[in-house]
A and B are shown apart, each in its own frame.
Chain A
Amino acid sequence: MSETPVRITVDGVEIAAAAGQLLIDACEQAGTYIPRFCYHPRMRPVGMCRMCLVDVDTGRGPALAPSCMLEVRDGMVVETASDAARKAQDGVLEFLLVNHPLDCPVCDKGGECPLQDQTMAYGPGESRFVEEKRHFDKPLAISELVYLDRERCILCDRCTRFADEVAGEPLIGFQGRGYHTEVNTFPDRPFDSYFSGNTVQICPVGALTARPYRFRARPWDLTETTSTYPNATGDRVSVHASRNRLLRIQGVDSEAVNHGWLADRDRFSFEAVHSPERLTEPLLRKDAELSPAPWSAALAAAGDALQAALGRGGPSSVAVLGGARLCSEDQYAWAKLAKGVIGTDNVDAQLGDGLPAELVCALPRATIAAACRPGGTVLTLAGDLREEFGSLFLRLRTAVGSGDVALVEMAPLAGSLTALARHSLRVRPGDADMIAEAILDPPHGAAIAGIATDELRAAAALFADGPLTVLVGRTSVAESATTTAHAALRLARAFPHARFLPLLRRGAAAGAIDAGLVPGLLPGRTTRQGAGAWYGAAWGGVPEHPGADAAGILVAAAAGRIDVLVLLGADPLADFPDRELARRALERVGTVIAVDVFGTASVGCADVVLPAVTFGERSGTHVNIEGRATAVTRQVTPPVQCRRDWEIAAELALLLGSDLRIASPTDAWTELTDLSPLHAGASWDGVRADLDGLLLPVAGDGNGTGGGNGTSGAPPGMVTLEDVRLPGAPVVPFDRYSYRLVADRSLYDRGTVVANCPSLASFARPARLRLNPRDFERLGCRPDDLLRVTSPAGAVSVAASADDRVPPAVAALAVNSGGADPGELIDIDAAVCEVRVEPPIP
């Protein structure tokens, strides 16, 4: 798109438009809405419905043209409501209604239906079509989530285009021809897509409906608020409720974040909010049983345990794990309680499945939009984006698929973007840093670790040339984060122009790091050493001793050095990579205080259980992986006894004799913006003024430098690359008799959210051990054979399958699938997890 604007005349008024802009968009920007059904701004225009016909004169006299297919040209004269345009639009509307059923009274779309609205506004009073309308069986369940009513369908190609172009899963399509055209699936091949809900949202009529919302409400009975879904990208959403129940979540088109798209797991996860399994009252362990207790008793028990621990083992005998699902305000309150009041640095919002917090803070930060901007290169040092970062996957797929962005992959397994990648480097577990080094300095010889040196050189050339965004995350929790961290650090030093997007999968993990809910750091990506005095002055104290991350905390707990462990919505028994360590730790800890929404396995080990509020029930601020702050808005009242996490922190502080001076989320956010150089200038109202929120730091250039406006003295400096201290990355020689384990993720797992959504729970399937087809054959496997997999840490039995996305000598097993648990095989201290796979017993 050129920068020079062009001038066009719309209905007699001259307006400016961007060169190359579509006429329909230019008119809308100027305040003239042209009706449309097939056009969708995030998809290729097709000009099918013909509703947007307008009279356009480009110098050869007025002629009808579809405004969704026409780019503006200087001097273009457009009449959107001339007699000819009106007649054409009325005609199209009548044609659409010819075969459209008159079932608006029982249609979910009624009340928010563009076709209904158009007809009410401009349509004819009665139908001139007197024959029988077209009939189809209805509705048709095209997947477990989506129903299709082909009679209502106006064949606009939106859902089919989305499936094909955006999601890359053409599982629904037009069938038949002309009058008999219908949208449908292939027989017995349902529309099983992680993103199917988007088609329901963009359907301009009631042809596609989602099972969780069908016949649940009428649009005019819904209250609606714009909020942020607490996932890593912080997808902007519209939350719909009626009579204090969440009924629907829709994507909101944020230019910066999600373009309106959502993964189905996020879209339909609101069901968990109203699950009967919710924790709705405090519990106290009495006679080895957890029993309901009043809040006062539960809080007193927690307070007593903390006091006792402080007295016995000092601040370091208290540890806080979790908090990555909370709002920034909650995270800040807990950071202040733990570090300022209790004085412990044993605090980690990540559960051994993220990245070193210092590194995350120090790497110059990228934005999602910059990663997808045409002309750049994206390197992924991460697992399959589709499984964990839905909207980012869709945006990146669109950018890469259109050829605008060059993609280079470094991952042990092939994934959903592999087919589109310019270079796909199969990096064995543990080899990431070695390959990064080889990219910077290609070795002699044709290949290293199975990757051609020519390919490494080509990748290096792409990195050096033009904008580079590195998406760095975890390809596997069976491999230490250290190698990936070293690789990222190496690339950051070699390519100063590179920007990084930390792919931390836990919803607000990035925000938790920024709020200081991690070891070694204080709010605003500052170090304990650098900003200790600053926060000490404001809080009345900071930890004296450096603390440990989740792994260190659990090791300390297992060794009996932790008296009180607070779990902030954390379930280490399910989520920490090393199962045995988590078990030993929780057994040994004196008192476990769990603040949670559901009774997880770890909550079952707790001594004090405090029920918390969840998404939809709280207001606050979400900070995503870009460092973008957006509003989270309360839409329903929580169960009576559930409390806000910041509130619980404030109550516990009072019991410990301190006042956090936080009485509302606004208090917490305002204090954070006053103290933190990162959050400075991002006022509560400022965050809410724009759909895209505010990118932190507000005054900075988005790469880790920003100013503070602290209440007194100089603002503390933020973490730089020089501050990052990583343990050495051991190179583990390849054992040719072993397989290296990749413990990866799938969108639907046995996590509490999915498990408590009736519409989603059945999608989580026990995982199989995926092996390269040749290994599968070599082992003499047949489908469904049970294999015995052993590592130095443990053993599991699991059914195996052949998967050509898995390279030779690698075995892949998804975590938390409800089946065999890779956590039983993982030793958190090992750089990689080598496993033996025994052939099935004949």
Chain B
Amino acid sequence: MARLSDDNTRLANEIIGRYPRARSALIPLLHVAQAQDGHVSDAAMEHIAELVGTTPSEVLSTCSFYEMFKRSPGGTYRLNICRGISCHLAGADDVIAHASESLGVPVGGTTPDGTVTLEAVECVAACTEAPCLQVNYRYVGGVATEDFDRLVAELRDGEHPDVPPHGTVSTVRQRIPPGRSAGVSLPEGQGPPPWWERHQGSGDALPAPAPAPADGMIVTARRHQPDAHTLEGYLRTGGYEGLRRALAAAPAAVHEEVRAASLLGRGGAGFPAGVKWGFCPPDVWPRYLVVNGDESEPGTYKDRLLMERDPHQLIEGCLIACYALGLSQCFLYVRGEMALAAERIAGALNEAYAAGYVGSDICGSDFGTDIVLHTGAGAYIVGEETALIESLEGNRGMPRLKPPYFPAAIGLYGRPTIVNNVETLANLPWIVTHGAAAFVGRGAEQSAGTRVFAVSGHVRTPGVFEVPFGTTTFREIICDERYGGGIRDGRDLKAFIPGGASAPWFTEEHLDLPLDKATVDAAGSMLGSGAIVVMDSTTDIPRACHNLVRFFARESCGKCTPCREGTSWLEVILERILAGRGRPGDLDLLSDVCDNISPGLAWPPRMTTICPLGPSAASPIVSGLRDFREEFEAYLPRRIPVAAAPLAS
């Protein structure tokens, strides 16, 4: 229960120094406080308020929004058992029940010896290894009940010295060496970055494209290379080649190449990145890049893989984007629960700064920009781009209304800001190296390149697969031996979610649709974040629905009334139905509550809310009631007409 120590105060000031506004360091500083004490004490919040120049009330307001920050002490190890949809389908509820029984504490409780705090958490992006859990944010996949008991015994016996006590997330910190920083870009800065003007009007084109490798992989090409996350390993396999090529050309030529590649955003909405880039108003400076690495959509597991295994590829993508658009500072926002990703990126950045790939005078040129690693603290909504910006400004992650707050026009600190997904940016080195034409050649006409899909749920071989975009079909990626390998145990398919928890469900009849944006949109769903969750014939649909709705209710930010009140209302209605306490009109009530959040229950959804989270909660209910209404009805109590009841004898 203390203020930050002298060392941590120095660290805090170093972190604050990386941001244009001290308040932006709020979440990183709360992590520092939690690493110090294992939880965030009131005294630490008061100290942080002094450091960033606000009131303790404001600090608490931000702190209490994020799941990872705990205001009271817990066990040395937090066992966070995932109950996301993929883990739910793999029996997470049984694991949680077992854990609670074997530890002798309820969910949320701490064992008397102070070793373990048990938590049930939302999807942690390990869906292909379900059921999974995290020990202080370190992954353990495929956890059966006996594995759980063994893990607890090992923790108690001190057999996991590599897992730091609760509070420390990343064990590697970003350090920007003195003299290597390109400088903090203040929002009130007047003009473009100093190097920008010198690169204008040169008209230099990109060098002739290098021949594209044959194996078809773009962003996961290094997935089997154990040292791909090191600078040496990355350079050995063509790393930073794209950046060097970009620096040889005019920024406009790089932007044009990306536009020509028809690179659709890989975060969920699928908007063409090159077009989004063009929305920056021409004469407003500075401009920022914000990398969306807050992957949290249940069923989604791809950005984490790209950040953990190939961090330099992402860094190179960021630098290419900064160069193309004159972005003067980059903030790389990584989901808080992804400790390894943060460690790998911090390590990669430290190496890249030292070797002259990030910071000032990049690759010996006059181009320079800082990349600041920023870790979140547990809030799904922060994956929404305006909420991400709010969070990066040190606030509660509550979305802003678009218009007027389109980030490209009014973004971070009110300045033009490009928000791109990790996978989107990871494509850039390849595009610049091998050319837009080769990229377009990899996919379908409107869905160029490749996409990374996580196939989870009831398939034989769940996994993360990079496949040609727009040409592969759902049947292939679910059933082909190279990918999902078919439904487990030879069962039948009941339904599948084509693009993450927010997407309306598909069934058997949709299997032959290609993984193409336009086609899937037209069929009434979306490819979203590349998360395909398969449900076989044994799936209890109302329970799966409840699982997804509960997720949205837990993750609603609370800003808009319909979402805040509506999602939790949907949850309690489903709860009573599952408990056998359903009421006669409940299914219609579910529909009508959904309708009040998402009028007309249309696709794409209309909204009475600011962002699509509320309407997303309607997707599973609308899908479930449309295709499996009888399963819901079966849960409703049977009403036996009085006259037909046999008289007691």
Contacts and interface: CB of A to CB of B under 8 A. Distances in A.
A and B physically associate = yes
A87 B594 CA distance: 12
Contacts of B569: 95, 98, 129
Contact of B561 (A63, A64, A95, A186): A95
For chain B, the bracket of interface size reads 35 or more
Interface stretch (A176-184, A243-251, A363-371, A813-821): A176-184
B391 to A, nearest CB: 12
A95 B565 CA distance: 6
A587 interface: no
B401 to A, nearest CB: 5
B499 interface: no
A88 B61 contact: no
A131 B568 CA distance: 11
Contact of A91 (B555, B562, B583): B562
Contacts of A176: 64-65, 558
Interface in B549-587: 553-562, 564-569, 572, 576, 583
Interface stretch (B234-242, B284-292, B419-427, B605-613): B605-613
A66 interface: yes
Interface string B537-555: 0000000000000000111
Nearest to A51: B561
B400 to A, nearest CB: 9
A172 to B, nearest CB: 6
A175 B562 contact: no
Contacts of B318: none
Nearest to B55: A170
A177 B379 contact: yes
Contacts of B556: 177-179
Contacts of A372: none
A87 B599 CA distance: 9
A120 B60 CA distance: 37
A98 B557 contact: no
B55 A186 contact: yes
Chain B interface SS verdict (over half): helix
Interface string A158-186: 00000010000111111111111100011
A46 B395 CA distance: 15
Interface string B589-621: 100000111010000001111100000000000
Q: Which of A48, A53, A95, A131 has the most CB of B within 10 A?
A: A95
A178 B42 contact: no
Contacts of A84: 599
Contact of B558 (A47, A64, A87, A177): A177
Nearest to A87: B599
A148 to B, nearest CB: 13
B396 interface: yes
Contact of A96 (B558, B561, B597): B561
A131 B572 contact: yes
Contact of B557 (A92, A128, A177): A177
B56 interface: yes
A49 B564 contact: no
A573 interface: no
Contacts of A803: none
Contacts of A46: 559
B361 interface: no
Contact of A186 (B56, B572, B609): B56
Contacts of B263: none
Nearest to A176: B64
Given A64-B599, A64-B608, A170 B58 contact: yes
A171 B564 contact: no
Contacts of B558: 155, 174, 176-181
Interface string A182-217: 000111010000000000000000000000000000
Q: Which of A46, A48, A66, A172 has the most CB of B within 10 A?
A: A48
A99 interface: yes
Contacts of A170: 54-55, 57-58
B561 A92 contact: yes
Given A170-B55, A178-B557, A88 B596 contact: yes
B609 A50 contact: yes
Contacts of B401: 47, 66, 69
Contacts of B379: 177
B373 interface: no
Interface string A113-140: 0000000000000001111000000000
Contacts of A179: 553, 556, 558, 564-565, 567-568
B116 interface: no
Contacts of B608: 50, 53, 64, 88, 91-92
Contact of B57 (A63, A131, A154, A185): A185
A179 B613 CA distance: 14
Q: Which of B42, B58, B61, B595 has the most CB of A within 10 A?
A: B61
B45 interface: yes
Q: Which of B559, B566, B607 has the most CB of A within 10 A?
A: B559
Contacts of A186: 42, 45-46, 55-57, 59-60
B561 A178 contact: no
Contact of A49 (B66, B561, B607): B561
Given A131-B572, A177-B396, 7 more contacts: A47-B610, A64-B607, A90-B596, A94-B596, A131-B576, A170-B54, A178-B554
Interface of A: 46-51, 53, 63-64, 66, 69, 84, 87-88, 90-92, 94-96, 98-99, 128-131, 154-155, 164, 169-181, 185-187, 189
What 5 A-B pairs come out closest when comparing CB atoms? Answer: A91-B596, A173-B61, A181-B558, A95-B565, A178-B556
8 contacts: A48-B559, A48-B560, A53-B608, A95-B562, A99-B565, A175-B64, A179-B556, A179-B558
